[in-house]
Amino acid sequence: MTVLDGKAVAKKVRDEVKARAEAFAAAHGRKPGLHVVLVGDDPASQVYVRNKERAAAKAGLEGQVHRLPGDTTQADLEALVAKLNADPAIDGILVQLPLPGHLEAQPVLDAIDPSKDVDGLTALNAGLLVDGRDGLRPCTPSGCMRLIEETGADLTGQRALVIGRSVLVGKPVALMLLARNATVTIAHSRTADLEARVRESDIVVAAVGRPEMVRGEWIKEDAIVLDVGINRTDEGKLVGDVEYAAAAERAGWITPVPGGVGPMTIAMLLGNTVTAAERREARGPRGGR
Ligand code: NDP
């Protein structure tokens, strides 16, 4: 068994991003710009946004956070997104979720210019993924695929199981595995006999949010196991959706929690921002789609 070390791979990705950001700045006289919108004072979101801000600066990006009060109106939030869309020096826009209860997330996400949608959550980018065309891909699924690349495995004809069907993780990662010619099954809360599906799978991506629900003994010998889940136990410990110690005895490759998929997400976000910047400059000064 080999541990898929997300921290080490994320560092590699961040180094690559930094080199690309420097080349971009040398060619265009400005750094790629990532702007994050944070509404309200949710403590977890504040930590995530601070981490993104720091990582952006370290990777040679121009990063800015727009902190809006918790009682911001839908119209004011959408007006800010429109302003960021119109600014040619901004390449990536990310609206930190969840938004306070009185705001609707979907219209805000839909308002983001798809060429600046570094979270890959607009309908256009989702459609481009379905169609197998170039677009900005969601960060956590891209991080999963990058980790799978590290194994050197050819996914052609392999049986892949994605547990979870969210727009953020499950669905996009399933499409990405399909694009690599895996035979993909998507499991969810209504799936019958999850154990049997796991037992037959060469690749398992667990994105549920239930502590250690995938038992180690279900894992097929030598399978690749990616654990997206982040769960805090009553004792305050972080665990994934997979029973790690027992699964590690059977898997060929496995991601730990923490230190697996988690660190990849921000690294892929930085990569998306540089990609968005490069593509926008290649399309001309107005940065159209
Ligand atoms: P969601 O809550 O949006 O989706 C969870 C999915 O799991 C749903 O599709 C649900 O099915 C399915 N599910 C629930 N119970 C079961 C069950 N008993 N058996 C099989 N499937 C089940 O979560 P997300 O996709 O947003 O996130 C999943 C996990 O990944 C969370 O722990 C989250 O914290 C973590 N995460 C980690 C990230 C990272 O950077 N590492 C980034 C994003 C998320 P149904 O559709 O039927 O309800």
DSSP label at residue 242: B
Residue 47: is it exposed, middle or buried by C-beta count within 10 angstroms (0-12/13-18/19+)? exposed
Domain 139-261: which CATH number of 3.40.250.10, 2.60.120.10, 3.40.50.720, 3.40.50.970? 3.40.50.720
* Mean pLDDT (whole number) for 215-228: 98
Q: b/e for 203-218, b at 16 or more Cβ within 10 A?
A: bbbbbbeebbbbebeb
Q: Does residue 238 sit in helix, strand or coil?
A: strand
* Model confidence pLDDT, tens digit, residues 15-74: 999 999 999 999 999 999 999 999 999 999 999 999 999 999 999 999 999 999 999 999
- Residue ranges of the chain assigned to CATH 3.40.50.10860: 28-113
| Ligand 1 atom nearest 213 alpha carbon | 18
DSSP label at residue 214: B
Are 252 and 224 in contact by the 8 Å Cβ rule? The answer is yes
Nearest CA to ligand 1 atom 16: 189
Q: Is the CB of 49 under 6 A from ligand 1?
A: no
Q: Which long-range contacts (CB under 8 A, 24 or more apart) does 187-193 make?
A: 187/161, 187/162, 187/163, 188/163, 188/164, 191/163
Q: In the predicted model, is pLDDT for residue 265 greater than 70?
A: yes
Which residues lie below 8 Å from residue 85, measured CB to CB, with a gap of 6+?
93, 111, 112, 113, 116
Q: In the predicted model, is pLDDT for residue 192 greater than 70?
A: yes
Q: Is the CB of 194 under 6 A from ligand 1?
A: yes
Q: In the predicted model, is pLDDT for residue 142 greater than 90?
A: yes
How would residue 285 be classed by pLDDT, with cut points 50, 70 and 90? low
Ligand 1 centroid – CA 66 distance (Å): 28
Whether pTM > 0.85 for this model: the answer is yes
DSSP label at residue 205: E
Q: In the predicted model, is pLDDT for residue 204 greater than 60?
A: yes
pLDDT, averaged across the chain: 96
Q: Which helix (H) or strand (E) holds 281?
A: helix 262-282
How would residue 286 be classed by pLDDT, with cut points 50, 70 and 90? low
* Mean pLDDT (whole number) for 273-277: 98
Looking at the annotation, which residues are catalytic?
52, 96, 119
For residue 194, what are its two tokens? Answer: 């999850």
Which CATH homologous superfamily contains domain 28-113? Leucine Dehydrogenase, chain A, domain 1 (3.40.50.10860)
Strand partners, 170: none
279, 206, 289, 282: which is closest to 240 by C-alpha? 206
Ligand 1 centroid – CA 208 distance (Å): 3
Q: Is the CB of 163 under 6 A from ligand 1?
A: yes
- Give the strand order in the sheet containing 62-68: 62-68, 33-39, 92-95
How would residue 284 be classed by pLDDT, with cut points 50, 70 and 90? confident
* Model confidence pLDDT, tens digit, residues 75-131: 999 999 999 999 999 999 999 999 999 999 999 999 999 999 999 999 999 999 999
- Residue ranges of the chain assigned to CATH 3.40.50.720: 139-261
- Three-state SS sequence of 161-203: EEECCCCCCHHHHHHHHHHCCCEEEEECCCCCCHHHHHHCCCE
**What Å distances lie between residue 116 and 87, 137, 169, CA to CA?**
11, 11, 20
Q: Is the CB of 208 under 6 A from ligand 1?
A: yes
Q: Which helix (H) or strand (E) holds 206?
A: strand 203-206
Give residue 289's pLDDT: 47
Q: Is the CB of 50 under 6 A from ligand 1?
A: no
